[in-house]
Chains A and B, each alone.
Chain A
Amino acid sequence: MIPEELQLSSATKDRLFGLLVKGVLGTLLLYALFPIYWMVISSFRTRTEITAADPQLLPVELGQIPAIVQDPALLLEILHYENYITMWARFPVLDYFINSLIIATTTTVFALVVGCLGGYAFSKYRFPGKGGVGGALLGTQMIPGILILLPMYLLFIWIQDTIGFPMTNTYHGIIFVYTTFTVPVAIWMLRGFFDTIPDSVEEAARVDGCSRIQALVRIILPMAAPGIAATGMFVFLVAFNEVLFASILASGDVTPFAIGIQSFETQTTAYWGEMMAASTVATAPILLLFVLFQKPIVEGLTEGSVKQ
């Protein structure tokens, strides 16, 4: 056994434990944030700097800091912001962004409309087959996308050939696929938010002469706005990040960012600097929105898993 005088007192133990917690937290933060930091740093570097054998961890050398503090304009010389200018001409980044915005925003709107209706029905009413529908909603999340993509591809081609209505490489084709993909998730998340609104609200609105649909649109939906925003952000991210369907069904003029950004790495050269500049432009607004609206988003995500 450890002799008496060498045993740690409980105060010392607490302090050591506190240190351990801080150390682990620091390591985790470093691990979580370093790649994001590296993206931003790399976006300000030239190709030679990025492919150098000994990349610098800091954007500026420590010895340069006093000079920069004296003359901030020097920063513009050290940090190469050229990537942010050349990328637009070298790759159709603007088109990618616009395509992604059109696809993801429209998907979000449609999925929210359908999801609000379904989620509300799920939260407030009992009806035969409710359990089955719930299971089906969750079941859709377990299906490998490729199993759906193959028939979907054949269907799109068949529609084009027989009816003559273009489906592949169109906005409406991919938006339709994404909307349906995200509706089950949207219903499930929104159900959790509607659960938090008491049933008496609808009853009161009904007593005041609203029809059921009026009660939903005029009274309930405004109350659920934070939850709807959170679900909307989630749906937007899913649509923004999707690559499986996009790589087959949305190329050419409707290529979204998620597919287009990969073309920065060509057979012969990788334009990492430009790629990271475009990535930074795409990531910054999303991170900002998340930091602003994180409370309902985090609640919406954890709701289903913990409540069972």
Chain B
Amino acid sequence: MASTTRQFRRRVADLQLGNYLPFYSRLSEEQRFAYKLLAPGLAMMCIIHFLPIIWGTLISFMGVDSTYARQWHNAPFVGLENYLYVLDPRTVIGGRFWFSIRQTVIFAVGSLVVTYVLGLTAALVLNQKFKGRFVARTLLLLPWVAPVVVTLLIWRMMFQQQSGIINNILLSIGIIDEPIYWLIGDNTIWTLVLTHSWTQFPLVMIMLYAGLQGIPQQLYEAASIDGASRWQKFRYVTFPQLKPVSAVVVLLVMLWTMINFTAPYVLLGAQPPRAGQVGILYIYEFAFSNFQFGRGAAMSVILFIIAMTMAMVYYKYLFDDDFTEDSQ
């Protein structure tokens, strides 16, 4: 009975899928099972990731504003007008958009430098043998584990101009004579870099630490026999060996910082100063306070293209550099 059912099922499967989906019928049973397992995940990704990207791009070519918010499909097709408008540095919007792109680059590169230096230092320290290094590793990971909204607000409190502890300490040590405005004016972007780096450096640390653990011990022994000093070992063994991991870290930190919304949104509060308006924050303010969805979408597409281009150029540079061969 069971075998008849199975035969029947197979026949049905052959009939339907064999005729309509020749590709699917050629798959082994194992491969079909794999597709079935992946199907829910892929379906969800299509709905939330891929369709909205296509749709968002579509909107960027349409004049969707407050009039059309409830019936976007009736909005007129305007071609490249949105793009030309937001990219024109002579208009107010265009000028501010270009400025926000500049701030985004400062934010990404600045955060990358600070997190990488901090993360590498911490990873190297943890790689030394000392008592309690497991505890130290746990403690150093806490800034990254604590809810980032909370930690950003702590920094916001500490950066207050009048009562903040940071100005207070700097004043009492004598580094500054006047309280600094951290959260208003041109300093804001650096405040953002410092705070974001604090929340992200543990991730860089733990990735580089894992990379350090993977370096074969023989290389250090060989270097010792050649009489290499500590610095030389770092310069000629550790650093080159870390290159593949560093490459991944650099790419991830750059991209994730460029598209990070939480840090500027929470740290800078309800009225973000101009200098702290990185790309994504500016688009958000612009699109949702004026209901200019078409132009907002055009800016988002541009931001996406910039991030993707940077990632691809970097990726290409990596493979031209052949870092994989060096490390083997």
Contacts and interface: CB of A to CB of B under 8 A. Distances in A.
Contacts of B44: 114, 179-180, 183
A42 B146 CA distance: 17
B64 interface: yes
A267 B69 CA distance: 29
Interface string B118-135: 100110010010100000
B260 to A, nearest CB: 9
Contact of B38 (A29, A118, A126, A179): A118
A265 B140 CA distance: 29
A301 interface: yes
Interface size class of A (residues with CB under 8 A): 35 or more
A308 B34 contact: no
A58 interface: no
B297 interface: yes
Contact of A28 (B140, B150, B280): B140
A241 B149 CA distance: 6
B91 to A, nearest CB: 20
B70 A147 contact: no
A13 to B, nearest CB: 8
A18 B131 CA distance: 12
Contacts of B163: 50-53, 55
A117 B38 contact: yes
B56 A148 contact: yes
A154 B269 contact: no
Give chain A's interface secondary structure class.
Answer: helix
Interface in B259-280: 259, 261-262, 265-266, 269-270, 279-280
A241 B145 contact: no
B162 A51 contact: yes
B289 to A, nearest CB: 12
Interface string A152-179: 1111011001000000000000001101
21 contacts: A21-B125, A29-B140, A31-B198, A54-B168, A57-B165, A115-B41, A117-B40, A121-B37, A121-B38, A142-B307, A155-B52, A158-B70, A183-B44, A184-B41, A184-B45, A241-B149, A243-B262, A244-B262, A262-B269, A294-B141, A298-B206
Interface of A: 17-18, 21-22, 24-25, 28-29, 31-33, 35-36, 38-39, 42, 50-55, 57, 114-115, 117-118, 120-122, 124-128, 133, 136-137, 140-155, 157-158, 161, 176-177, 179-181, 183-184, 187, 212, 237, 240-244, 247-248, 257-258, 261-262, 265, 267, 270, 272, 275-276, 279, 282-283, 286-287, 290-291, 294, 298, 301-302, 305-306, 308
Given A154-B59, A240-B147, A283-B147, 15 more contacts: A22-B130, A32-B140, A36-B146, A36-B151, A42-B157, A118-B41, A141-B255, A147-B303, A148-B53, A150-B59, A150-B287, A154-B293, A179-B44, A301-B206, A306-B211
Interface of B: 27, 30-31, 33-35, 37-38, 40-42, 44-45, 47-53, 55-56, 59, 64, 69-72, 118, 121-122, 125, 128, 130, 136, 138-143, 145-151, 153-158, 162-163, 165, 168, 198, 202-203, 206-207, 209-211, 214, 230, 244-245, 248-249, 252, 255-256, 258-259, 261-262, 265-266, 269-270, 279-280, 283-284, 287-288, 293, 296-297, 300-301, 303-304, 307-308, 311
